Amino acid sequence: MELTSKQRAYLGGRANTLEPIFQIGKASLTPEMINALDEALVKRELIKVSVLKNCADDPGELADVIAERTHAGVVKVIGKKVILFRQAKKNSRFVLPK
């Protein structure tokens, strides 16, 4: 999912108050983690993920892999935090700017 800079700025602002709901650690990305992230995107649309210090992978690369496998868009990668968005097909809570 491709997001424009206006859309990323809007979603980044909305994500400021969110707490990370997942932590990626030493095991990195497992199929179970991808499934859990996919389910969270279905329910919440906008999620924040924390990459722990013991994870050897780069947060930017992890964000790209997650986005590819879950068909989501990467909103921001700030330090060890990743913000992802996938709009619901019906009854979305977010009206994205054009």
Structural domain spans, the chain: 5-85
Query: CA-CA distance, 43 to 53, in Å (whole number)?
Result: 28
Average pLDDT over residues 87-97: 85
% of the chain surpassing 90 pLDDT? 82
Length of the chain: 98
pLDDT tens for each residue of 42-67: 999 999 999 999 998 999 999 999 99
Convert 4-22 to b/e letters by CB count within 10 Å (16 or more is b).
Answer: eeebbebbeebbeeeeeeb
Residue 24, pLDDT above cutoff 90: yes
Average pLDDT over residues 3-15: 94
Query: CA-CA distance, 72 to 46, in Å (whole number)?
Result: 10
Query: CA-CA distance, 62 to 43, in Å (whole number)?
Result: 21
Average pLDDT over residues 6-19: 94
Question: Tell me, what's the pLDDT at 35?
Answer: 96
Question: Tell me, what's the pLDDT at 75?
Answer: 96
Residue 91, pLDDT above cutoff 90: no
Output the six-digit token pair for 1.
């999912």
Question: Tell me, what's the pLDDT at 53?
Answer: 93
Question: Tell me, what's the pLDDT at 40?
Answer: 95
CATH topology of domain 5-85: Translation Initiation Factor IF3 (3.30.110)
